Structure formats: structure tokens, C-alpha cells
């Protein structure tokens, strides 16, 4: 069932130009990657931290039958506090709508930052289907549960106020990270993520990530499924957990990763920065240091 974009709490209708007005309509990257399915999540459009230019380059480069938007696509939390919507974010929305218009099935599973969209499950906006969850069958017959994952985050479910406190702490970490990387750039050193380092090194953060992954995989097994695809924790991963395939597609704030399914059903985490660097010739869009945004 189709509805106009206007009912969204975040006024998407004001962000989307009419069909045919996008100057990049025919600017797709030559020699693109063709896959069966793509999963991306945690874009956090509406925040300075969203790597919109890199994301747009990725979307232009890849072609697929089905594109899953696995939550936190638009950051309603941040937009309610302060409006931020540059042209690059509008270009991403345009590209997603154009992708749907050209025949790719685009399925949107809302997350906690765009939870306003959960009121419109089973509706269709500009060809983008809004669903609460999805069962995807791979080319080799595996059934994967597609969810954002915030329902398995005890902080979000039991103490949402604490999640907002965590948002502020994450903001501080990313601001510090930006200054550190400014110094590293002057020294000729590559980008380095402080927040990712802390996630991997701080014991409680590692335990949080591990507990989340195990809980999601356990629920998928209870449902009789062979795997789960999620986002939420900004940590790309593809591994077996007690016989269940756990896949997290990462984010487009720091890691700039996606999960892709090849024609034979094989799944792969695609690191866009590494992939773009390996393409010759190609113009790689410079990536800004990450700005504040939370899981």
C-alpha cells in the first residue's frame, strides 16, 4: 500500500525532489560491482558524522536485486535536537529512491534512531518497503533473519535515558578522535578510529558486543533460521556462532562497510575504503573525520 511521504515525523517529503531533477541520474560509476543482495545500516543521515559522499560513491558503484536498509538510516534523535541536512544527504535519499524506481527491491527495517518509521510498517514510500523484520533466502537456500538489533540491546530497552547519555559520551570520543586524526594527517599518518579501538580493547565494550552477537544468534536459532543479519552496534562481523551465521553489516560513520551476497549465495563484508582504493582508475571521494553519532 502506497502512502505519501508527508506522515513521517521527520519531514522526508521536504528532502526529496521530484523525479528527474537529480543531476546525478546518469552518473553511475563504470565497471560497477554486481551482486545479488546488499545490506547497509547505521547511515545516520542528518548528522555531521554520516559519510554521505563515500556512501553515495558506494551506491553508484554497486548493482543488486535487493537492497536492505537495516535501520538507523535517518537519525531522528539528532534531527530533533538540531536540524542538519546538507545536499550530500539529500543526494543519498535521491539515490535510494532512484534505485527503487529502476527495479531494485529496497526494503527498510527501521532501527532505534529512526524508530518513527515503525509506525508505517507494511507501507511503501517511493518504492521503498517499510517492514519490522524480514526473512531473506540466499541463493544457496539459507534463511536469514534481517533485523536492526536494538531490541537485543538492554540499554535501549530498559534504560533509554542511559542510551542518550551514551550518545553524549560517544560524541566526546568522536570529537577527540577528529582532533587526533587532524594531527595524524599533518604527520602523514592514515585515519585511525579511537572509538573502534576502545570497542575492541575495553573489556566491558568487548563483552557488550559479544553478548549482543550471541543473543541475536540464539534467537535466530530458536526461530529455526540458519543466520541473522543486523546492524546497530557499528561493528562489522561475519562469523559462525554455535552453528548460526551471524552477520553485521557495520556502519557508514566510521567503518564504511556493507554486507553483500554474491550470485552463488556467498556472503562477504565489503570494506568500501579498501575496495575503492583497489579500483584502478577511480576517483575516491575524500572521507571526513567522523562526527558525533551513537549506536
Spans of all domains in the chain:
12-278
Q: Cβ(273)–Cβ(54) under 8 Å?
A: yes
Least confident among 17-31, 73-87, 132-146, 207-221: 17-31
How many beta carbons lie within 10 A of that of residue 31, not counting itself?
A: 8
How many beta carbons lie within 10 A of that of residue 263, not counting itself?
A: 11
Tell me: pLDDT of 20 over 70: no
Q: Cβ(237)–Cβ(248) under 8 Å?
A: yes
Q: What is the dihedral of CA 250, 6, 79, 213, to 10 degrees?
A: -30
- Helix/strand number for the chain, H first, E second: 8, 14
Q: In this predicted model, what pLDDT tens digit does every residue of 142-151 receive, in sequence order?
A: 999 999 999 8
Q: What is the mean pLDDT of residues 284-294?
A: 54
Strands 62-63 and 33-34: parallel
- What does DSSP assign to residue 52? H
Higher-confidence residue: 190 or 252? 252
What does the mean pLDDT of the chain come to? 80
Q: In this predicted model, what pLDDT tens digit does every residue of 104-138 receive, in sequence order?
A: 999 999 999 999 999 999 999 999 999 999 999 99
Q: Report the topology of domain 12-278.
A: Purple Acid Phosphatase; chain A, domain 2 (3.60.21)
Q: With pLDDT > 70 as the criterion, what percentage of the chain qualifies?
A: 68
Spatial distance between the Cα atoms of 294 and 65, rounded to a whole number of angstroms:
30
Long-range contacts, stretch 191-197, CB < 8 angstroms, 24+ apart: 191/287, 191/289, 193/254, 193/255, 193/290, 195/170, 195/254, 195/290, 196/235, 196/254, 196/255
Q: Cβ(251)–Cβ(290) under 8 Å?
A: no
Q: C-alpha angle 97/73/211, rounded to 5°?
A: 145
User: What is the pTM assigned to this prediction?
Assistant: 0.77
Amino acid at each position: 500500500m502506497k502512502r505519501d511521504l508527508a506522515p513521517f515525523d521527520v519531514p522526508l517529503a521536504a528532502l526529496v525532489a521530484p523525479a528527474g531533477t537529480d543531476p546525478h541520474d546518469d552518473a553511475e560509476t563504470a565497471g560497477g560491482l554486481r551482486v545479488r543482495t546488499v545490506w547497509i545500516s547505521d547511515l545516520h543521515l542528518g548528522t555531521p558524522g554520516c559519510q554521505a559522499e563515500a556512501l553515495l560513491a558506494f551506491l553508484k558503484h554497486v548493482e543488486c536485486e535487493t537492497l536492505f536498509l537495516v535501520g538507523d538510516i535517518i537519525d531522528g534523535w539528532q534531527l530533533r535536537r538540531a536540524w542538519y541536512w546538507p545536499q550530500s544527504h539529500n543526494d543519498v535519499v535521491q539515490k535510494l529512491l532512484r534505485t527503487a524506481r529502476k527495479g531494485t527491491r529496497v526494503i527498510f527495517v527501521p532501527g532505534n534512531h529512526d524508530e518513527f518509521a515503525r509506525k508505517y510498517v507494511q507501507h511503501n514510500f517511493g518504492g521503498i518497503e517499510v517492514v519490522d523484520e524480514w526473512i531473506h533466502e540466499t541463493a544457496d537456500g539459507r534463511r536469514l533473519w534481517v533485523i536492526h538489533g536494538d531490541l537485543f540491546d538492554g540499554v535501549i530497552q530498559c534504560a533509554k535515558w542511559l542510551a542518550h547519555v551514551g550518545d553524549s559520551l560517544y560524541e566526546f570520543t568522536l570529537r577527540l578522535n577528529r582532533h587526533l586524526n587532524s594531527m595524524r594527517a599533518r604527520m602523514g599518518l592514515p585515519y585511525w578510529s579511537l572509538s573502534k579501538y576502545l570497542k575492541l580493547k575495553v573489556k566491558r565494550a568487548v563483552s557488550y558486543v559479544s553478548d549482543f552477537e550471541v543473543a541475536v544468534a540464539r534467537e535466530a536459532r530458536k526461530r529455526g533460521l540458519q543466520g541473522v543479519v543486523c546492524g546497530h552496534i557499528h561493528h562489522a562481523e561475519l562469523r559462525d556462532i554455535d552453528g548460526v551465521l551471524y552477520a553485521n553489516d557495520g556502519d557508514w560513520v566510521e567503518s564504511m562497510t556493507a554486507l553483500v551476497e554474491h550470485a552463488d549465495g556467498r556472503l562477504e563484508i565489503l570494506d568500501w575504503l579498501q575496495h575503492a582504493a583497489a579500483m584502478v582508475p577511480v576517483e575516491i571521494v575524500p572521507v571526513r573525520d567522523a562526527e558525533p553519532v551513537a549506536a
